[in-house]
Structure 1
Amino acid sequence: MADWIILAAISIVSGCFAVQWLLPRRAQRDHAFGLFSNTSLFDAVFLFDEERLISHSDIALAGFEHVRNWTDLRRLLQRDFPTFPESPGAVRDKGYVVVSPIDCTVERDVLCEWIDGIVRVRLREAAKAKPAGSEAQNDPTRLAMDQAPYPVWLLGQNNRVQWCNAAYVALVRKARDQDTDLTDPLFPSTPEERSVGKTRVSVEVSGSSYKLWFDLTQVEHASGYLCYAVDINAIVQAETAQRKFVQTMTKTFAQLSIGLAIFDRNRQLALFNPALIDLTTLPPDFLSCRPSLSSFFDRLRDQHMMPEPKNYRSWRRQMNDLLEAAEDGNYHETWSLPSGSVYSVSGRPHPDGAVAFLFEDITAEITLTRRFRSEMDLMQSILDKLADGIAVFADDGTLALTNYAYQKLWGDAEDAGFQTDTATDVTRRWQDLCLATPILGEIRDFLEMRDDRAEWTAEIHLRTGTPIQCTVTPLQNGATIVRFSISRIPSKIQQIEQISA
């Protein structure tokens, strides 16, 4: 009986070897290939005979239960796997196709393989398909793209995104929502909107008015366009802040009555305000064309809006000196124009080599000053005709004005006009020419008083014995007039001497 059992076992083993030997031999494949490869419980496998689905795994991903043909499966996979083959023929031609997800952060891919007329499609976990240390994981080009800090993506000929890196995925979800279609381009994609090279584009953030700005670079590729976006929000914000600052300054300059002309480092007119047009009578279109510094002043000379030079050579020399002085911040002149107007012109250096010129019409100020000087000269002439000596003291006690009679009396003829002597200096000079008297001290004290001031009169005597009548009169704002009258009536001493005689 044992012999029969041993013989049966040998027969079974021999039969198995014979069957194995007679089976068609296939080329050795990787353990992840073929119909009989180990499949993860989370994977879904589909078998196609041409376009028709003939079988699928029992545990399929949600949403794939109604797949009936290749088109149905491609429609379901196209959003996450836009490069999925359009037909099984592409798999037949290559024999083996791995489709990567558009989102490089997704740990899945699709394996398509041709096996004896059958197309096997397997949705698998990419981490298991590519073991740690594999060539795909260590590919520096793929690592650089996946971990790049700026969005990178491939735009297909059908204007759909075929691949993108993690930065692009994060940007799309930030601008739209978490469950957005990554194949729908976030940046301009139509031929009319597309521009090869670098362009500045903005992306609107869903649910807000905020915009994200990028420098978009598109490079033509065999399968479409490789696109790169560089974040320039900081640059745009800086430009916006600068533009607002310039607008604010422009509005401020527009309100100024002083003409402003700023020339950049190339000596081209960069900025001017309306007051410059009013003061120089230069046409706005001429100023808007950004004339050079020399052209600007040549035009002023032609318009007779600056002092007429003696000759052109000296004029050019004067302009060179003007520019050098303006660059040092030392240029300041008063221009008396042929029209009778008077301008104050100054030059100031600005950052980055720019120069600013300021034009101010000071005709009214000069006219007022000249009129004031004329009135002062007239008043001085009137005072000089008076027989009495007049001394006018300011509210701080300094001698402000005297006349010819005063100067002749006190010996100050060489200092005619405005004085800067203090009350102490003046009364000391008087004391040197007078007999001792407390009147001069009282006058000095009166000049320093601010309240309870009333006119009063006293008499002093020169060392020659000549009596002088002093009248102290307070004025508004603390000023004081001291008038010296040489008495025509004999003094009491002279009267006594005459009686004694």
Structure 2
Amino acid sequence: MVNLTVSNSVILGGLVVVFSFAVLWLIGMSRTGQNNKRGVQEHAVHSNSFLFRNEDLIDHDADTMPLPSAETEDESDWQRMRKWLGFRFSDLPERLGDLTADLEIESNTDGLKSRLEFSLGNKAVHLTLSEPVTPDSATLHETLRQQALLQGRSDAIDAAPMPIWATDKDGNVIWENQASEALSDDHKEQILLALGDAPEPGLSASKRVSLENPVGPSDLWYDLKAIGSDTGALHYAADITRIIRAETIQREFVQTLAKTFANLTTGLAVFDRNKNLALFNPALIDLTGLSPEYLSARPSLISFFDTLRDRQVMPEPKNYASWRSQINDMVKTAAGGLYQEVWSLPSGQTYRVTGRPHPDGAVAFLFEDISVEILATRRHRMQMDLRQTVLDQLDEGVAVLSAENRLMFCNKTLGTLLGIDPDGSFADMGLSDLLAACHRRYPDVGLWAEVEEKITRKSLSSPIIDTVGRPGGDGATCRVMPLGGGLTMVCLTQIVAEISGMTTADLT
């Protein structure tokens, strides 16, 4: 038990009085502060202090220190801190030892009045990070809402299938998503090297790069894009390996087609869905006379046919005003697989032009020189006409039956004798029809029955020669003989009934 003297009691009583007045003053100040809370908080800030010596962090008052891990063994604490602060504060000194005076830097990425203060001390640098205090609950709620939105966007970017990363002004990676983290260190180094320096703020740079594939035979391809900002750059790497492979396969396929069609005599012109020439072969050059330089320039379909018209490699249109609409109609018809036309050129050549549809709106035109074929057809027709004319001049009626026992042709004399006109009939005349006409004109049941039986059974091995007709009437000499290839020839020669007192029997 402590014994208090009078003097001690006086002193203690005085202290109690002073303490009581102090408490009352603080309570009053607290109540006054309630009324001015908003104004006070507008100027309040939170701050953390960090003490560095020789680039090493030796003390701080932060609850947590989420500094990035050191990438190399010789990376200092300040370099890690610099990366941590870099996305909000630019122009940070590379080394604290380079500071010659106190420095203050404000945040350049948000509307908050955040700042960094560097204070030089005795062989040490005192760094203060100051953040404004939220003035009221509504502002706090809005801040949390914005943070939630940013977190959602961050999660979306982090889960994106394409590599995305951010770098500071020195090119150091300060953030990357999962796809970027999945890249090998070697591929990351090649990509960063290919991109080079970050573009200026507001500008962008693009580049395509191929990387060696460690698990496959073909390279990996990426389309790279960097967008500059005040704090560094944002980078994107789109994997286009499949697109490149598809383009390579398509290009090789086109080359294969070109080699395949190179030796064809048929000219080929393939127009893509944009109606530009995509493929042609040497035969097209030979048939049209168009230069390889012109065709290699990939002319449009309209330009291609206009040039053909100018070079008289296609018939001159009767109405030039409707020429383009005719070309469009031709393309539409070809797209339906229906276009085919024969062009008779002023040079005497004849081309058959065929339009064929291709997938994805493309269309191909085939140019065939059928001049020899047309000439041969014309010669054959002339020969047939000549033969028919010669046969029509004979006094003997001649008919030829096919291997299927159908009438192939007969001369004019036979038509006159039998009263038939095969060319004027819609239906083909067969063996039975021909022999029925013969029997009506020259009745002979036995002979015509024998002829029909032998021809039908293909047993006519030798000619049948006989005289047919009504007794006392006109008669005819009939000859039926086999020809090669299963053909049969029937000949009738009219016999005059009486000439100078001779009878038909005398003539035979």
TM-score normalised by structure 1 residue count: 0.64
* 2: CA distance, partners of 1:93 / 1:463: 144
Distance verdict in 2 for CA 1:414–1:189, change over 3 Å: closer
Residue 456 of structure 1 corresponds to 463
Question: Does the alignment pair 1:379 with 2:413?
Answer: no
Amino acid at match of 2:304: F
- Aligned counterpart, 2:67: none
The verdict on how the C-alpha distance between 1:363 and 1:483 changes in structure 2, with shifts beyond 3 A counting, is same
Identity of aligned residues (%): 39
Superposition map of 1:89-488 within 5 A:
139-140=151-152, 142-172=154-184, 185=191, 188-191=194-197, 196-206=204-214, 208-264=216-272, 267-308=275-316, 314-329=319-334, 330-350=338-358, 354-412=362-420, 415=423, 420-450=428-458, 453-463=460-470, 465-486=473-494
Alpha-carbon distance between aligned partners in 1 of 2:122 and 2:446, rounded to the nearest angstrom: 139
Amino acid in structure 2 at the alignment position of 1:283: S
- Structure 1 residue 346: Cα displacement: 3.5
Query: Letter of the aligned partner of 2:160 in structure 1?
Result: A
Is 2:351–2:367's contact at 8 Å kept on the other side of the alignment? Answer: yes
Deviation at 1:300, TM superposition (A): 2.5
Q: Distance in 1 between matches of 2:279 and 2:422?
A: 54
Counterparts of 2:303 and 2:504, CA distance in 1: 88
Partners of 1:348 and 1:355 within 8 A in 2: yes
Q: CA deviation at 1:246?
A: 2.8
Matched-pair contact (CA < 8 Å) for 1:307–1:335 = yes
Assess, with a 3 A threshold, how the Cα gap between structure 1 residues 316 and 170 changes in structure 2: closer, same or farther. same
Moved more, 455-464 or 213-222: 455-464
Distance 1:438 1:340 in 2: 57
Q: Structure 1 residues 245, 183: closer, same or farther in 2, change over 3 A?
A: closer
The one-letter amino acid of 1:447's match is I
Give the 3-state SS of the residue equivalent to 1:383 in structure 2: helix
- Per the alignment, residue 25 of structure 1 pairs with none
Aligned amino acid, residue 390 of structure 2: I
Query: 1:49 Cα deviation (Å)?
Result: 4.7
Does the aligned pair in 2 maintain the 1:335–1:344 contact within 8 Å? yes
CA displacement at 1:353 relative to structure 2: 5.1
In 2, Cα distance between equivalents of 1:275 and 1:331 = 21
RMSD: 4.8
Distance 1:348 1:155 in 2: 54
Find the aligned partners of 2:315 and 2:159 in 1 and give their Cα distance.
Answer: 68
Q: Which region of structure 1 is more displaced relative to structure 2, 474-483 or 321-330?
A: 321-330
Pair 1:432–1:86, CA change in 2 (3 A): same
What SS does structure 1 have at the residue aligned with 2:245?
Answer: helix
Do the aligned residues in 2 keep the contact of 1:439 with 1:458 (CA within 8 Å)?
no
Q: Tell me, yes or no, if the aligned pair for 1:328 and 1:349 is still in contact at 8 Å.
A: no
The alpha carbon displacement at 1:166 in A equals: 1.9
In structure 2, relative to structure 1, the CA distance for the partners of 1:439 and 1:160 (3 Å cut) is farther
CA contact (8 A) 2:400 2:408 kept: yes
| Contiguous gaps of at least 5 residues in structure 2 | 2-45, 60-69, 86-92, 105-119, 127-146
Instruction: Kindly provide the amino acid, as one letter, of the partner of residue 74 in structure 1.
Output: E
Mapped contact 1:265–1:353 kept (Cα < 8 A): yes
Query: Match of 1:74, SS?
Result: coil
Task: Give, as a single letter, the amino acid of the residue that structure 2 aligns with 1:50.
Answer: N
Q: 1:172-207: per-residue Cα shift (whole Å, max 9, x none)?
A: 26x76xxxxx67755614349999334333222236
Change (3 A) 1:199 1:438: farther
Mapped contact 1:388–1:485 kept (Cα < 8 A): yes
Does the residue aligned with 1:277 lie in a helix, a strand or coil?
Answer: helix
Structure 2 CA distance, aligned partners of 1:193 and 1:213? 22
CA contact (8 A) 1:469 1:486 kept: yes
Three-state SS of the structure 2 residue aligned to 1:188 is helix
Shift in alpha-carbon separation, 1:187–1:447, aligned structure 2, 3 A: farther
Shift, 1:260, TM fit = 2.8
2:365 counterpart letter in structure 1: F
**2: CA distance between counterparts of 1:416 and 1:387?**
22
Partner amino acid, structure 2, of 1:327: K
